[in-house]
Amino acid sequence: MDGQDQIYDYQSPSEMTYEPLTELSNWASSTCHLLPVVFFIPEYRAMSDEEHHFDSKADAGASKTYPQQAGTIRKNGYIVIKARPCKVVEVSTSKTGKHGHAKCHFVGIDIFSGKKLEDIVPSSHNCDVPHVNRTDYQLIDISEDGFVSLLTENGNTKDDLRLPTDENLLGQIKDGFAEGKDLVVTVMSAMGEEQICALKDIGPKN
């Protein structure tokens, strides 16, 4: 049997395995005079960062804080000290040693407990800063066990907050409610905690 009558073991493209292009090219050159050759070249590409979908436990609390360089945090700002959201009441910067880095000394007050906390951080390092939000609610009722009932914007009630521990604010809320006034309280929230922090007297009830 001469070369023209030689029978080739031809595999259809669907039966082919994707081999290196050099082997594919050699195979094509030996068969192209008998059969039309169609190349099926798979597309190989690296998965981009946007296509990675990994669940991370670290992401769960990421929205509670954001990073900020220590040297840019000022008095009356916020910072997380010992895992507590604090308002900065004092900040000073000092250098340590001849080749030392500048360091920031923060004094903060826990925005919920009022406890004083301190921390020292290199000025070039990032600190965690809490997202602090304030929301106004109309006071509807005060229960005997110290919980308040608040009216939300969508008409529902919020019943999971206690009266504040600050004696002055507590007295204003109780007295205004007893007098039948329409009261609006400001609720401060940060890092998963909430607390009534202010009172607005909007006049007597109609």
CA distance 173 to 177: 6
pLDDT one digit per residue (tens) for the chain, 206 residues: 454 444 445 455 455 554 555 555 555 555 545 445 455 544 544 444 434 333 433 344 447 999 999 999 999 999 999 999 999 999 999 877 666 789 999 999 999 999 999 999 999 999 999 999 999 999 999 999 999 999 999 999 999 999 999 999 999 999 999 999 999 999 999 999 999 999 987 766 66
CATH of the domain at 184: 2.40.50.140
Task: Give the H or E element holding residue 175.
Answer: helix 167-178
- End-of-domain residue from the set 130, 162, 182: 130
Q: Is the pTM of this model over 0.75?
A: no
- Inter-residue contact 169 to 196 (CB < 8 Å): yes
- Domain of residue 123: give its range: 63-130
* Domain membership flag for residue 18: no
Cα–Cα nearest to 95, from 69, 122, 113, 75 = 122
- End-of-domain residue from the set 130, 151, 179: 130
In the chain, DSSP assigns E strands to 65-69, 78-81, 84-95, 102-110, 116-122, 126-130, 133-142, 147-151, 157-162, 181-190, 193-204
